[in-house]
Amino acid sequence: MLIEWQIASVEDWHADAIIFFVFEKADAPLAGFRRYLEGKGSWLSGSAALKDFQAKPNEMAVCYAPSEEKAIPRVILVGLGPADRFESDKLKNAAAHALRKCRELNVARPAIAMTAFEGLPLESPAALRESLFGAVAGLHKFNELKTRNSEAESAPETLFLLSESEPDNPMAEAVNIAESESGGVMLARDLTVSPSNRATPAFLAETARQLAQKYSFKIEVIDLDSAVSMGMGAFAAVARGSREPAFIIIIEHAPPGTENDPPLVFIGKGITFDSGGISLKSPDKLDAMKQDMAGAASVLGAFEAIGRIGLKRRVVGILPCTENMPDGKAYKPGDVLKSFSGQTIEVISTDAEGRVVLCDAIAYAAAKYSPAAIIDIATLTGACIIALGNQVAAVLGNNEELMDSVKQAGWDLGEKFWPLPLWDFYFEALKSEVADMKNVGDRSAGAIIGGIFLKQFVPREVAWVHLDIAGTAWTDKDSGATPRGATGFGVRTLFEIARRWPESQAWGIIE
């Protein structure tokens, strides 16, 4: 779907439908809609659909203009619910539902007027960004593998942005950002929903190569033999159990002039199928374990967005990608592994493989790049779902400022994070009699224990945050902007952190 500005007086606007947002039980319409009602849309006052419309969240009314009104024959009203409960998510989802209604009605050229945002408790550029993201991402479907009963729907061809004057820089930038991040989220969703016999480590490596070619990123793909020779014994132990070739994928965006800057490093867990290894998982919903690479997918999605917008900052992505399988060469409970950092790990459960591959990637990132900060993202623990549910991810780390930045960026974009502590006494659960640490403790504080394990591989001088997205990477409910299935959660937050990243100084460590 193309997004195009249409600059003209209200009387000269033209589209197949125009979309307006309405608060429930409001004393008066939002200012921009009110002016439309008083002018070009004066015919609406006699519409029965308008009179029946209550503006509950995502409720819609399609009002048809008289036959003589040919420039804009429809007005689509979308409810935002009560004004005192408004969040940006409401606008994003309302826009998604409106565009789906356009698809249902075969409306080829819908429009959103910039005046539609007047009166919202959100700055107009942010409102435009959220509504465009919802409009685009809400239409997304993964149909690549369907050969039957998959008739193409007539998605809108062009979404017009109606304005009486040329957009200023913040508004124009909002469009660019929304298109960039929606592209990244859709890539992450497609990768996460793809079956594991398609989205193999090699497939992720090829996807990264395509991104590198498209956006002139640097790329390095480290195979298993090379990982072993480099001392990545933890990653290698997990990878040996699979017959699918394993890779550590490194992708780097370093625009001219930034090549020597300390980079922001994103690390994504890329377990393309998790059987649990020798510690075999229950067969219940085992098919869902194709989703265990959602962290890697989010990093690739963030790089898609970074490449599209041409960010002027150095960012590195590291994706340790492998399956976790119960082969004869698979690592076993009781094994002791030597990690890239030199620390040894006693394996208690092979189903805690995510932290085992991530620890080598984190230590490698710290040693090679002297990064400004490291953010890892992973579907790490079922315990995170127990603690926070399916709509909130956990944020843990060694730097309060960076954690707050992640939490705020996510909140602004509808990706909610909640901090969990990483106090030193939690390491007691990982003490081993035969190695430097165990890879799991008992069942208590599982999400925190996963984080405290990873913390052992982060040098004290490096700002680091761990994002556990186990509950948020997939949804069984359709919210509008996020259809049922893979969510692409984390892409927008990583992208926003890269955009907001301080240019003059790195985050300071808070002991």
DSSP string, 293-313: GHHHHHHHHHHHHHHHHT-SS
Q: Residue 48: pLDDT band by 50, 70, 90 thresholds?
A: confident
**Same domain for 439 and 352:** yes
* Helix, strand, coil tally for the chain in percent (to 5): 40, 20, 40
CATH number of the domain at 483, please: 3.40.630.10
Question: Is residue 285 domain-resident?
Answer: yes
Question: Is residue 453 domain-resident?
Answer: yes
Q: Where is average pLDDT lowest: 143-157, 219-233, 459-473?
A: 143-157
Compute the distance between CA of residue 395 and CA of residue 383 in angstroms, rounded to an integer. 13
User: In 10 A of CB 217, how many CB atoms?
Assistant: 21
**Same domain for 236 and 146:** no
User: In 10 A of CB 35, how many CB atoms?
Assistant: 16
Map residue 417 onto helix, strand or coil: strand
The residue among 491, 452, 487 whose CA lies nearest residue 472 is 487
Segment 311-319 mean pLDDT? 97
Compute the distance between CA of residue 391 and CA of residue 471 in angstroms, rounded to an integer. 7
Question: Is residue 282 domain-resident?
Answer: yes
Segment 422-445 mean pLDDT? 97
The residue among 476, 475, 502, 472 whose CA lies nearest residue 490 is 472
Look at residue 508 and tell me whether its pLDDT is greater than 60.
no
Compute the distance between CA of residue 501 and CA of residue 511 in angstroms, rounded to an integer. 21
Q: Report pTM.
A: 0.96
Compute the distance between CA of residue 301 and CA of residue 204 in angstroms, rounded to an integer. 12
Question: Is residue 510 domain-resident?
Answer: no
Q: Is the dihedral of CA 392, 502, 184, 91 positive or negative?
A: positive
Map residue 272 onto helix, strand or coil: strand
DSSP state, residue 29:
-
Compute the distance between CA of residue 349 and CA of residue 134 in angstroms, rounded to an integer. 40
Q: Residue 504: pLDDT band by 50, 70, 90 thresholds?
A: very low
- Last residue of some domain: 139, 164, 189? 164
- E strand residue ranges, 351-493: 373-378, 392-397, 416-419, 437-438, 463-468, 474-475, 485-486
DSSP state, residue 59:
-
Look at residue 244 and tell me whether its pLDDT is greater than 50.
yes
Compute the distance between CA of residue 498 and CA of residue 181 in angstroms, rounded to an integer. 12
**Same domain for 188 and 160:** no
pLDDT in tens, 118-174: 999 999 999 999 999 999 999 999 988 888 765 556 779 999 999 999 999 999 999
**Same domain for 489 and 453:** yes
- Last residue of some domain: 99, 132, 164? 164
Question: Is residue 207 domain-resident?
Answer: yes
Is 477 an annotated catalytic residue? no
Look at residue 289 and tell me whether its pLDDT is greater than 80.
yes
Question: Is residue 169 domain-resident?
Answer: no
**Same domain for 212 and 116:** no
pLDDT in tens, 370-385: 999 999 999 999 999 9
Boundaries of domain holding 471 = 178-500
Segment 219-239 mean pLDDT? 98
CATH number of the domain at 27, please: 3.40.220.10
**Same domain for 109 and 72:** yes
pLDDT higher at 507 or 371: 371
Residue of 56, 103, 141, 281 marked active site: 281
For the chain, how many structural domains are there in total? 2
Compute the distance between CA of residue 165 and CA of residue 169 in angstroms, rounded to an integer. 12
**Same domain for 466 and 356:** yes
Q: Which residue has the tokens 């959220």?
A: 130
Question: What's the length of the chain?
Answer: 511
Compute the distance between CA of residue 342 and CA of residue 338 in angstroms, rounded to an integer. 6
The residue among 132, 179, 173 whose CA lies nearest residue 307 is 179
Residue of 308, 355, 407, 438 marked active site: 355
CA distances from 278 to 84, 195, 257, 269, 331 (A): 52, 22, 48, 20, 8
The two structure tokens encoding residue 122:
């959100």
Look at residue 509 and tell me whether its pLDDT is greater than 50.
no
**Same domain for 182 and 48:** no
pLDDT at 501: 87
- Last residue of some domain: 104, 129, 164? 164
**Same domain for 221 and 145:** no
Question: Is residue 508 domain-resident?
Answer: no
Question: Is residue 505 domain-resident?
Answer: no
**Same domain for 425 and 496:** yes
Amino acid at 303: F
Look at residue 216 and tell me whether its pLDDT is greater than 70.
yes
Q: Residue 45: pLDDT band by 50, 70, 90 thresholds?
A: confident
Look at residue 417 and tell me whether its pLDDT is greater than 70.
yes
- Average pLDDT of the residues of the chain: 95
pLDDT at 46: 85
**Same domain for 204 and 149:** no
**Contact between 243 and 327 (Cβ < 8 Å):** yes
DSSP state, residue 152:
P
Segment 165-193 mean pLDDT? 97
Q: Which residue has the tokens 């990483």?
A: 422
Amino acid at 273: F
**Same domain for 182 and 53:** no
Is 101 an annotated catalytic residue? no
